[in-house]
């Protein structure tokens, strides 16, 4: 077995478009090792002129403070362009991190993709 590959330490990133909204779908762990990849994806989207971004955390098994820092940095980046960065998350253990840090007041948080779609259609 290859020691370089450990179960759950990978971060898969998929990009989708929902109208003018860029959806970043994550799967795996967002930690000190994988967070720079997420940072680069957000930076690239903003550099391309995409300022409405939602990060889907439904398939994220673990997120540490580095991951939170990347999301806050991404939020600052899009706010600079009057944009927004939202979160899709229905996992209590990850939502708890957002509540403890007060970030539920900063990020729009959606319980599911359906919740997100209902909110953007109603806007």
Which residue segment(s) compose the domain that 57 sits in?
Answer: 11-122
Residue 87 lies in a domain: yes
End-to-end CA distance of the chain: 51
30 found inside a domain? yes
| 70 within some domain | yes
CA dihedral 65, 69, 72, 74 (to 10 degrees): -130
Whether residue 5 is contained in a domain is answered as no
What is the value of pTM for the model shown? 0.90
Residue 106 lies in a domain: yes
Q: Kindly give the confidence (pLDDT) of every residue in the chain, 123 residues in length, as a single tens digit, with 9 standing for 90 and above.
A: 333 444 446 899 999 998 889 999 999 999 999 999 999 999 999 999 999 999 999 999 999 999 999 999 999 999 999 999 999 999 999 999 999 999 999 999 999 999 999 988 765
The structural domain count of the chain equals 1
List 52's β-bridge partners, or say none.
84
Residue 43's CATH number: 3.30.750.24
In a domain, 2, yes or no: no
């Amino acid at each position: 077995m290859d020691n370089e590959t450990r179960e759950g330490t990978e971060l898969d990133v998929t990009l989708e478009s929902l109208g003018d909204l860029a959806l970043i779908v994550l799967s795996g762990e967002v930690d000190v090792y994988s967070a720079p990849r997420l940072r680069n994806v957000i930076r690239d989207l903003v550099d391309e002129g995409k300022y409405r971004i939602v990060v889907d955390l439904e398939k994220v098994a673990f997120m540490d403070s580095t991951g939170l820092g990347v999301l806050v940095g991404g939020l600052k980046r899009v706010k600079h362009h009057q944009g927004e960065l939202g979160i899709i998350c229905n996992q209590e253990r990850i939502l708890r991190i957002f509540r403890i840090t007060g970030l539920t007041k900063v990020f729009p948080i959606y319980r599911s993709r359906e919740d997100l779609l209902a909110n953007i259609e109603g806007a």
